[in-house]
Structure 1
Amino acid sequence: MKVILKETIESLGIIGSEVNVADGYARNYLLPQKKAILATPQNRKVMEQMKVRVQAQIAKERAIAEELAARLNEISVTLSAKVADEGKLYGSVTVQDIVRALLEQNVEVERRQLLLPEPIKALGTYKVPVRVYKGVEPEITVEVVPAA
Structure 2
Amino acid sequence: MKLILNADVPNLGAPGDIVEVKDGYGRNYLLPRKLAVVATRGAEKQVEQIRRAQKTREIRDLGHAQQVDSQLRNINVTVSAKAGDTGRLFGSITPAQVVDAVKAAGGPLLDKRSIDVPGHLKTLGKHQVQVRLHPEVTTELPIAVVAS
TM-score bracket for the superposition, by shorter chain length: 0.5 to 0.7
1:128 corresponds in structure 2 to: 129
- Normalising by the residue count of structure 1, what TM-score does the alignment of the two structures yield? 0.58
The 4+ residue runs of structure 1 with deviation greater than 4 A are none
Alignment gaps of 5+ in structure 2: 1-6, 14-19, 27-37, 48-59
Q: Which amino acid aligns with 1:140?
A: L
Select the structure of larger CA radius of gyration: 1
Name the SS of the counterpart of 1:127 in structure 2. Answer: strand
Q: How does 1:75-86 map to 2 (within 5 A)?
A: 75-86=75-86
- Normalising by the residue count of structure 2, what TM-score does the alignment of the two structures yield? 0.58
Equivalent pair of 1:92/1:120 in contact (CA under 8 Å)? yes
Equivalent pair of 2:71/2:107 in contact (CA under 8 Å)? no
Equivalent pair of 2:95/2:112 in contact (CA under 8 Å)? yes
- Cα separation, 1, equivalents of 2:91 and 2:10: 35
Q: Displacement, 1:10?
A: 5.0
Name the SS of the counterpart of 1:85 in structure 2. Answer: coil
Alignment gaps of 5+ in structure 1: 1-8, 16-20, 34-59
1:91 corresponds in structure 2 to: 91
Q: How many residues align?
A: 109
Q: Which amino acid aligns with 1:143?
A: A
Q: Displacement, 1:80?
A: 2.0
- Cα separation, 1, equivalents of 2:94 and 2:109: 16
Q: Deviations over 1:15-54 (max 9, x none)?
A: 9xxxxx84356xx67xx76xxxxxxxxxxxxxxxxxxxxx
